[in-house]
């Protein structure tokens, strides 16, 4: 029984099928990379897994239970958390408050009860992402790269069992990107299942255990990174697209 | 007195506000003594408290990004419920006041069910519709509410017997202190919410409900709580109003003014601040009664309309926001 | 039948509002007050100079249009979140207009009763007031003209382009600021023009604006943006629903109907409609 299963997920927007019959398993302590050209349905898949969208067809299972109808907050408490491709933290709140929210509401098992405790723990988490210095500042002062790191900190704070990471390396300096990848590897070692959407293919080769390639809403290849990246189907989908 | 920290660094400005707030509280407690024997001034004070209460309850929702255009609904329910319970049900005004407030809180839960998953402007429109529906119902359900004639002879809160204590604070001091008590309870609740996780959740919902949900916040539940608490105190304000005037009718209890005023007062004073709505109520209500009415009777709409536009265009965080910006400017960036 | 006629009128009433909302994303809560403004102008012209309401329409449209255009720079200064703050702004404007009306025209009830308008006319076997029929026909004509405007002229198409995709339209060379101005002007004018007709149907007071505003909101949410036929359909349905409610339960049920419909509509359409699609 996989930790998280997507079975035949389909999602249509009007006449357009963003995702068609996508089936996927995610296991603990593995990093699965999701690749595909823009518009191939990667973020839609994340939205379906994390609960922002309901599928037009298909189901999502979590630890064997069907959770297709569960709202996002319930899935968060169950252990699924994600970052958003367009970073949208709470701009008027301080970084600590941003992270503390997840600690207070999204982590029932070991979450903080009191605001003060949550804020302290938030400080620690922010430190792991190099944001401790700005912990007491409002989020709107952050640069794009820092915003994405904040998103990641927010997602990680709730100690999820499944972490969905949506293009977190964009806008990061090479050092920061290295640190983030190191962090993900560390999380994997702790047993977290990670699903990663990234365009920087070298990064993927470094950390991913498995790669799933999407094109026009369908899975066109799946397997070890080296194999998938060289597969004819994937090359065709990316033809004309400059890889990194 | 600020509801949310800007940089987490304690600035001397907070101290200024705190002093002002404490000063205001002392004045408030002593007011009946200060204005005796004028019954009219005491009445003004009491009404200011009632409106402050209404405005404060409105601003609780505004914290969560819920701009209510229908607060008259809570107010009217509180007014009518308390009037009916004390007049027809023969209950003591105190008891009916509490029950009426609870009923209004229950309506808050209903409102959460109806409009809970509406965002921004749509939520506001829904509240507008709800307030109007209740007004129409009150107007036409004559069996219960006597329609446009209203309910007359609603028992008031006990007056002080003339002489003795009354000479110090006036005979209607009970009304005043009841209102003050309720307002104090509301403010206490507000400040508690601000420090609790709930306050953070409210702010988060305002700034991004989807993100909040992804962090584990059950938005529906939080909105339910906010609407119930807001309704509780707004209903209490309505009930107080009914007992002060000893009369309710649809025009006064569910008037669109009652939805408009808390919005204007809270925004004008600064809905971000704990006592902002109170300040707004003091300035606008007293300003209207004491100054404006003398100059331009019936022109209160000018005052209110102008206040709203001023706030939206020039004072996004109300008077207190403007004051804070001034103070911050003077002391240099903190 | 009376319901259908009122329905056509409702659609006209809502057209100005829908236009402003569609193009500039502004919920104009002062819409009804612009209508009332036009109504007062029309009533004045009728009382003083005997002008028929229909004749008065263009003149009544003028002050409303000017106000709407004057509001544009103010609206541009409204901060985020725009939709919410602009609502509060138009709300304040509504109060100001109401007080202006009260000062200028006093608060008594006014009504236009053109001679001969209550003469009955037979329509499809049902007797309706001639005046009402005239109003409905006027409404239909104007709606048809608007429809043509939006679908046939470049000008109209630019309006629709901006309402559907602001940035795309800008890239295509359409200046959204100008389009905003035009939309506000036209929307305001439509509201004002409907005024004299409104005054012929019911009593007007300075605070009568909320009724038309609510009607406009209901129809705009139902009919969608940029679709005159959607508005018309919605208007007819609303008119019918109200007539049925009034017939079944008595007059008060009319108001409740439109309010109740509003709530239902909001539930149905109210999530994620403004601000882009989900996901």
| Contact partners, residue B203, CB within 8 Å, separation at least 6 | A90, A92, A93, A97, B4, B63, B64
A-chain CB neighbours of B215 within 8 Å are 73, 76, 81, 101-102, 105-106, 154, 158
pLDDT at C222: 74
pLDDT at C128: 64
Q: Which ranges of chain A have pLDDT less than 70?
A: 109-112, 239-244
Please give the DSSP secondary-structure letter assigned to residue A94.
Answer: B
- Inspect the interface and report whether the beta carbons of A52 and C277 lie closer than 8 Å: no
3-state secondary structure B23-50: HHHHHHHHHHHHHCCCHHHHHHHHHHHH
- Tokens matching residue C129: 């007031």
pLDDT at B227: 94
Cβ-based interface (< 8 Å): residues of A facing B: 50-52, 71-74, 76-77, 81-82, 84, 88-94, 96-97, 100-102, 104-107, 113-115, 118, 136-138, 154, 158
Query: Are the beta carbons of B269 and B279 closer than 8 angstroms?
Result: yes
C279 touches chain A (CB under 8 A): yes
For chains A and C, CB pairs below 8 A equal: 9
- What is the band of C115 on the pLDDT scale with cuts at 50, 70, 90? low
- Inspect the interface and report whether the beta carbons of B213 and A71 lie closer than 8 Å: yes
- Inspect the interface and report whether the beta carbons of A88 and B208 lie closer than 8 Å: yes
How far apart CA C98 and CA C104 sit, in angstroms, is: 10
C-chain CB neighbours of A54 within 8 Å are none
Pure H helices in chain A: 42-50, 72-78, 95-105, 115-128, 144-157, 174-189, 201-207, 225-230, 232-238
pLDDT at C272 over 50: no
Query: Are the beta carbons of C34 and C190 closer than 8 angstroms?
Result: no
The distance of A64 to chain C (nearest Cα, Å) reads 26
B197 touches chain A (CB under 8 A): yes
Written as one string, the DSSP assignment of B57-70 is HHHHHHHTT---S-
Nearest CA among B146, B161, B333, B156 for reference residue B251: B146
Instruction: Summarize the confidence of residues C123-134 as an average pLDDT.
Output: 67
B-chain CB neighbours of C108 within 8 Å are none
B219 touches chain C (CB under 8 A): no
Q: Write down the domain spans for chain B.
A: 31-255
A80-82 β-sheet, strand order: A80-82, A162-166, A193-197, A31-35, A210-215, A218-223
pLDDT at C277: 29
How large is the ipTM?
0.83
- Distance from CA of residue B102 to its chain's centroid? 16
C-chain CB neighbours of B137 within 8 Å are 256
Q: Which residue in chain C is spatially nearest to B260 when comparing CA positions?
A: C91
- Inspect the interface and report whether the beta carbons of C93 and B126 lie closer than 8 Å: no
Whether a cis peptide bond, with omega within 30° of 0, leads into B37 is yes
- Inspect the interface and report whether the beta carbons of A114 and B6 lie closer than 8 Å: no
B215 touches chain A (CB under 8 A): yes
B334 touches chain A (CB under 8 A): no
Place of tokens 């998103």: A151
- What is the band of C118 on the pLDDT scale with cuts at 50, 70, 90? low
3-state secondary structure chain C: CHHHHHHHHHHHHHHHHHHHHHHHCCCCCCHHHHHHHHHHHHHHHHHHHCCCHHHHHHHHHHHHHHHHHHHHHHHHCCCCCHHHHHHHHHHHHHHHHHHHHHHHHCCCCECCCCCCCCCEEEECCEEEEHHHHHHHHHHHHHHHHHHHHHHHCHHHHHHHHHHHCHHHHHHCCCCHHHHHHHHHHHHHHHHHHHHHHHHHHCCECCCCCHHHHHHHHHHHHHHCCCCHHHHHHHHHHHHHHHHHHHHHHCCHHHHHHHHHHHHHHHHHHCCCCCCCCCC
C73 touches chain A (CB under 8 A): no
The distance of A168 to chain B (nearest Cα, Å) reads 16
pLDDT at B334: 44
pLDDT at C51: 74
How far apart CA C174 and CA C155 sit, in angstroms, is: 10
Other chains touching C, judged by 3 or more CB pairs under 8 Å: A, B
- Inspect the interface and report whether the beta carbons of B67 and C271 lie closer than 8 Å: no
B213 touches chain A (CB under 8 A): yes
Its sign, for the CA torsion B228, B232, B233, B239, is positive
pLDDT at C250 over 80: no
pLDDT at C139: 79
A-chain CB neighbours of C272 within 8 Å are none
- Tokens matching residue B140: 């036409």
Nearest-CB residue to C93 (from B65, B260, B309): B309
The distance of B168 to chain A (nearest Cα, Å) reads 45
Residues 39-98 in A contacting C (C-alpha not used; CB under 8 Å): 43-44, 47, 52-53
How far apart CA C197 and CA A230 sit, in angstroms, is: 72
- Inspect the interface and report whether the beta carbons of A73 and B195 lie closer than 8 Å: no
pLDDT at A111: 62
pLDDT at B182: 92
pLDDT at B10: 40
pLDDT at C94 over 80: yes
Interface test with B, best of A46, A73, A84 (most B CBs within 10 A): A73
Q: Does domain A4-79+160-238 have CATH number 3.40.120.10?
A: no
B-chain CB neighbours of A71 within 8 Å are 213, 218
- Inspect the interface and report whether the beta carbons of B312 and C275 lie closer than 8 Å: no
How far apart CA B304 and CA B264 sit, in angstroms, is: 7
B220 touches chain C (CB under 8 A): no
Q: Write down the domain spans for chain C.
A: 2-237
Model pLDDT for residues C176-195, shown as the tens digit of each residue? 777 778 888 888 888 888 88
Q: Which ranges of chain B have pLDDT less than 50?
A: 1-11, 334
The distance of A243 to chain B (nearest Cα, Å) reads 31
- Inspect the interface and report whether the beta carbons of C274 and B301 lie closer than 8 Å: no
The distance of B156 to chain A (nearest Cα, Å) reads 43
- Tokens matching residue B312: 């939206």
- What is the band of C121 on the pLDDT scale with cuts at 50, 70, 90? low
A65-66 β-sheet, strand order: A16-26, A4-13, A57-62, A65-66
B-chain CB neighbours of C78 within 8 Å are 312-313
- Inspect the interface and report whether the beta carbons of C278 and A44 lie closer than 8 Å: no
A140 touches chain C (CB under 8 A): no
Q: Write down the domain spans for chain A.
A: 4-79+160-238
- Inspect the interface and report whether the beta carbons of A158 and B213 lie closer than 8 Å: no
> What burial letters (b/e) apply to C233-248, b meaning 16+ CB within 10 Å?
bbbbbbbbbbbebbee
Q: What is the mean pLDDT of chain C?
A: 75
Instruction: Summarize the confidence of residues C47-71 as an average pLDDT.
Output: 80
How far apart CA A82 and CA C232 sit, in angstroms, is: 45
The distance of A54 to chain C (nearest Cα, Å) reads 10
Interface test with B, best of A49, A70, A72, A150 (most B CBs within 10 A): A72
Most confident of A187-196, A222-231, C21-30, C137-146: A187-196
- Tokens matching residue C78: 């409204």
How far apart CA B278 and CA B49 sit, in angstroms, is: 8
- Inspect the interface and report whether the beta carbons of B210 and A88 lie closer than 8 Å: yes
Q: Which residue in chain B is spatially nearest to A88 when comparing CA positions?
A: B211
C-chain CB neighbours of A44 within 8 Å are 279
Share of chain A above pLDDT 70, in %: 95
- Inspect the interface and report whether the beta carbons of A47 and C277 lie closer than 8 Å: no
How far apart CA B136 and CA B254 sit, in angstroms, is: 9
Helix, strand, coil % in chain B, rounded to nearest 5:
75, 0, 20
pLDDT at B98: 92
Residues 57-96 in B contacting A (C-alpha not used; CB under 8 Å): none
Residue B295, number of CB atoms within 10 A of its CB: 7
A13 touches chain C (CB under 8 A): yes
- Inspect the interface and report whether the beta carbons of C278 and A53 lie closer than 8 Å: yes
User: Facing residues of A81 across strands?
Assistant: A163
Nearest-CB residue to C274 (from B120, B136, B306): B120
The distance of A232 to chain B (nearest Cα, Å) reads 37
pLDDT at C229: 67
Written as one string, the DSSP assignment of A204-227 is HHHH-SEEEEEETTEEEEEE-HHH
């Amino acid at each position: 029984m996989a930790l998280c299963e997507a079975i035949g997920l389909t999602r249509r927007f009007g006449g357009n099928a963003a995702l068609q019959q996508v089936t996927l398993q995610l296991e603990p302590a593995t990093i699965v990379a999701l690749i595909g050209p823009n518009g191939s349905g990667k973020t839609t898949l994340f939205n379906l897994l994390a609960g922002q969208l309901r599928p037009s067809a298909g189901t999502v299972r979590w630890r064997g239970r069907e959770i297709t109808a569960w709202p996002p907050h319930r899935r968060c408490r169950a252990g699924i958390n994600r970052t958003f491709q367009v970073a949208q933290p709470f701009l008027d709140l301080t970084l600590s408050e941003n992270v503390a929210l997840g600690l207070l509401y999204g982590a029932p098992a070991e979450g903080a009860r009191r605001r003060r405790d949550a804020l302290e723990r938030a400080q620690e988490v922010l430190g792991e992402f190099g944001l401790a210095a700005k912990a007491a500042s409002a989020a709107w002062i952050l640069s794009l790269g820092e915003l994405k790191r904040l998103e990641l900190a927010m997602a990680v704070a709730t100690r999820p069992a499944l972490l969905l990471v949506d293009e977190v390396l964009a806008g990061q300096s090479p050092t920061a990107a290295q640190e983030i990848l190191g962090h993900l590897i560390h999380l994997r070692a702790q047993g977290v299942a990670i699903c990663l959407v990234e365009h920087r293919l070298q990064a993927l080769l470094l950390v991913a255990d498995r790669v799933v390639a999407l094109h026009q809403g369908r899975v066109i290849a799946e397997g070890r990174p080296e194999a998938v990246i060289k597969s004819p189907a994937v090359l065709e989908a990316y033809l004309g697209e400059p890889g990194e | 007195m600020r509801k949310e920290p800007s940089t987490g660094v304690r600035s001397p400005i907070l101290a200024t506000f705190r002093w002002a707030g404490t000063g205001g509280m002392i004045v408030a407690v002593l007011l009946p003594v200060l204005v005796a024997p004028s019954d009219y001034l005491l009445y003004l004070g009491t009404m200011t408290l009632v409106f402050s209460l209404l405005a404060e309850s409105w601003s609780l929702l505004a914290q969560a990004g819920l701009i209510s255009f229908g607060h008259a609904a809570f107010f009217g329910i509180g007014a009518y419920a308390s009037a009916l319970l004390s007049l027809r049900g023969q209950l003591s005004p105190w008891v009916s006041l509490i029950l009426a407030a609870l009923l209004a809180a229950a309506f808050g839960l209903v409102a959460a069910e109806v409009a809970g998953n509406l965002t921004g402007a749509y939520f506001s429109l829904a509240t507008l519709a709800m307030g109007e529906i209740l007004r129409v119902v009150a107007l036409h359900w004559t069996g219960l509410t006597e329609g446009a004639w209203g309910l007359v002879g609603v028992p008031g809160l006990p007056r002080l017997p003339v002489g003795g204590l009354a000479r110090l604070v006036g005979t209607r001091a009970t009304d005043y202190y009841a209102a003050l008590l309720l307002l104090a309870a509301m403010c206490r609740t507000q400040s508690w919410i601000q420090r609790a996780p709930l306050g953070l959740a409210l702010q988060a919902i305002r700034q991004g409900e989807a993100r909040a949900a992804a962090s584990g916040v059950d938005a529906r539940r939080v909105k339910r709580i906010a609407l119930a608490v807001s309704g509780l105190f707004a209903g209490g304000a309505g009930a107080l109003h009914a007992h002060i005037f000893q009369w309710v009718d649809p025009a006064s209890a569910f008037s669109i003014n009652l939805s408009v005023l808390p919005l204007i007062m809270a925004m004008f004073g600064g809905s971000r601040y704990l006592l902002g709505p109170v300040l707004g109520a003091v300035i606008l209500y007293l300003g209207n009664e004491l100054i404006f009415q003398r100059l331009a009777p019936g022109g209160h709409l000018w005052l209110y309309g102008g206040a709203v536009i001023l706030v939206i265009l020039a004072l996004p965080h109300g008077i207190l926001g403007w004051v804070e910006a001034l103070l911050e400017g003077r002391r240099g960036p903190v | 039948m009376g319901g259908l006629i009122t329905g056509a009128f409702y659609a006209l009433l809502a057209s100005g509002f829908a236009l402003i909302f569609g193009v500039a994303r502004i919920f104009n809560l002062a819409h009804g007050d612009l209508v009332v403004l036009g109504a007062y102008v029309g009533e004045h012209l009728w009382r003083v100079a005997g002008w028929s309401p229909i004749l008065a329409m263009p003149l009544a449209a003028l002050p409303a249009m000017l106000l709407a255009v004057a509001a544009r720079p103010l609206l541009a200064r409204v901060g985020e979140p725009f939709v919410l703050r602009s609502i509060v702004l138009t709300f304040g404007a509504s109060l100001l207009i109401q007080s202006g009306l009260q000062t200028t025209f006093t608060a008594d009830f006014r009504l236009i009763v053109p001679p001969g308008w209550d003469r009955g006319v037979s329509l499809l076997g049902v007797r309706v007031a001639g005046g009402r029929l005239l109003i409905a026909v006027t409404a239909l004509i104007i709606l048809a003209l608007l429809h043509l405007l939006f679908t046939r002229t470049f000008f109209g198409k630019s309006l629709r382009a901006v309402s559907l995709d602001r940035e795309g339209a800008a890239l295509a060379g359409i200046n959204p600021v100008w389009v905003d101005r035009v939309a506000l002007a036209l929307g305001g004018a439509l509201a004002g023009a409907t005024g004299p007709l409104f005054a012929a149907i019911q009593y007007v007071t300075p605070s009568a604006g909320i009724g038309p505003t609510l009607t406009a909101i209901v129809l705009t949410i139902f009919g969608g943006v940029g679709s005159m036929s959607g508005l018309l359909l919605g208007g007819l349905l609303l008119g019918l629903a109200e007539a049925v409610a009034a017939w079944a339960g008595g007059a008060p049920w009319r108001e409740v109907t439109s309010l109740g419909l509003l709530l239902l509509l909001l539930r149905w359409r109210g999530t994620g409609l403004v601000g882009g699609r989900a996901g």
